[in-house]
Structure 1
């Protein structure tokens, strides 16, 4: 996983609040321990040090707490949760021969761009993210990302990736770098990621992307 930037970064404020909560937690544990076992050594009040309490609270918030309702309500975190498995397709301008097995079930052979079935797996915490995309012919992994939450537009995930074709793919397939820009939307009860991608020199194609969250 790698870090990502965002236009709604509350990290300094949240770390300060976690530090305060950790301090109060240590005081509370020390007070409760002294009441329950007044005969124990003086270190009972510091059984849980501030550093340990802060580390535990930070780890819990980074992994899980940032996407809880209370974090949203307080404004501690407004970063969208992109994590999970997504299934969909890529509409590509790639001019090579695409195997029938690689095409999405909704593909239109008469269309200018062909729909290639694709899977997206996103692992995300409050500070880091990784995006893995796979098709029948290649796989790609993100190398950097930006999350935007500005009002007036859909939350978006823009990431840079490195793509590696399968060893048995056709000769015209080659390793390349690219960029994808995806918006998180709701279609009824369904979470949808849709947007576009474009590749760098040596590949120079582009296309549309559409995914629905499975989990």
Structure 2
């Protein structure tokens, strides 16, 4: 049992977050699928919401779904942040298992693309860094609690493992992993919470896939 836990933690430490270039490439691929395979109007693609799916590292099961509040770049120009909001009624991070998120507020693909284009200009013109290096910047999830830009409290940061679009083209999801076994070791109360969240999200993701 200890060897398994150690292996998972090692795997977690080896994970690297997806880059700006990889996200933009994925969006282009999804747009092509949206238009040519799903036969949908390409003009509607930009309105697709981008959400963040949180999964357990140990079994790859979904335990949380959060929306993107805003996009930021750190002052050194070394990271792009997808700043996500949580509150006491909807997040695994706040020790609560009341989960109702089908109408989750988040940013659209168009808003994400516009923000990345903005920070590319800042990267090149204000920070005086070669623009092609912008595409190599890692994109990370920052979890915040509180009212936007007013008494916000930092909760956690997460890497993005991959980005996927659902089968019907109604949503695109950044997938992030949490080291759930370490969380349980640090706080045994998380075990029940994670299991309950996992069961609830199995039903939620089924419903989302039908929207």
Higher helix share: 2
With the length of structure 1 as denominator, give the TM-score of the two structures.
Answer: 0.26
Which has the higher relative contact order, 1 or 2, with Cα contacts under 8 A spaced 6 or more apart? 2
